[in-house]
Amino acid sequence: MIREASEAGVCCGSAGIYNLVQPQEADALGELKANDLAHTGAAVVASANIGCSLQIRKHLQRSGHPQTVAHPLQLLARSAGLSDATG
């Protein structure tokens, strides 16, 4: 089942170099985003942006949430039986 986050439009805090020039603000946004995604009940979070993927993964792990973060193409490959590419 696909579930959209209630704060889907909120930035993850890793846009460009924002996480480098504003680390505290970026961390706060990342935590907000990860918390929102964690409470969707989804086992996998899809993100096509590598910066967002890294930021979301970091904050999910910090909070002890078990969700996997994967690129949409990884999910496509998995659904086609090409590989288990969500790890």
- Local confidence pLDDT in tens for the 87 residues of the chain: 667 777 777 888 887 888 899 999 999 999 999 999 998 888 999 999 999 999 999 999 999 999 999 999 999 999 998 865 555
Q: According to the model, what pLDDT value does residue 84 have?
A: 59
Residue ranges covered by each domain of the chain: 18-79
Q: What is the pTM of this model?
A: 0.81
Strand partners of residue 69: 45
Tokens standing for 80? 């086609």
Q: According to the model, what pLDDT value does residue 87 have?
A: 53
Q: According to the model, what pLDDT value does residue 53 have?
A: 93
Q: How far is CA 26 from the centre of its chain?
A: 14
* Sequential DSSP letters for 51-72: HHHHHHHHHHHHTT---EEE-H
Residue that has been written with the tokens 């209630």 in this structure: 6
